[in-house]
Amino acid sequence: MITAGQMKAARALLGMSGEGLAELSGVSLVTIRRAESARGLAGMMRANADAIRRALNAAGIEFIPENGGGAGVRLRKPGEQH
């Protein structure tokens, strides 16, 4: 799954609006806003979370798993495959 913080951080790194993420992922803006306002895991259907994760990944975001320091995101290096 994806956390609310990861969604917000990924959009910030990309300079992407909520509307842009909605268009790129095919998930409604209302769902994105609701998910980003959650604490911890973004509360949404798994299919929506997967669509958002795929869209952000395709836009250059790399998801960092929980590894004792907390889950996160970073920009993929140019030319790096996902």
Of the chain, the end-to-end C-alpha distance in Å amounts to 17
Domains, the chain: 4-75 (1.10.260.40)
Q: Please say if the pLDDT value at position 61 is more than 90.
A: yes
DSSP lists the bridge partners of residue 75 as 61
Report the alpha-carbon distance of residue 31 to residue 43 in Å, rounded: 9
Q: Tokens 């992922």 sit at which residue? A: 25
**In the chain, what percentage of residues exceed pLDDT 70?**
90
What was the pLDDT predicted at 44? 78
Closest to 50 (Cα-Cα) out of 72, 77, 26: 26
SS3 20: helix
Stretch 67-76: mean pLDDT, rounded? 81
What was the pLDDT predicted at 3? 87
- How much is the pTM? 0.84
What was the pLDDT predicted at 39? 74
pLDDT band at 33 (very low <50, low <70, confident <90, very high): very high
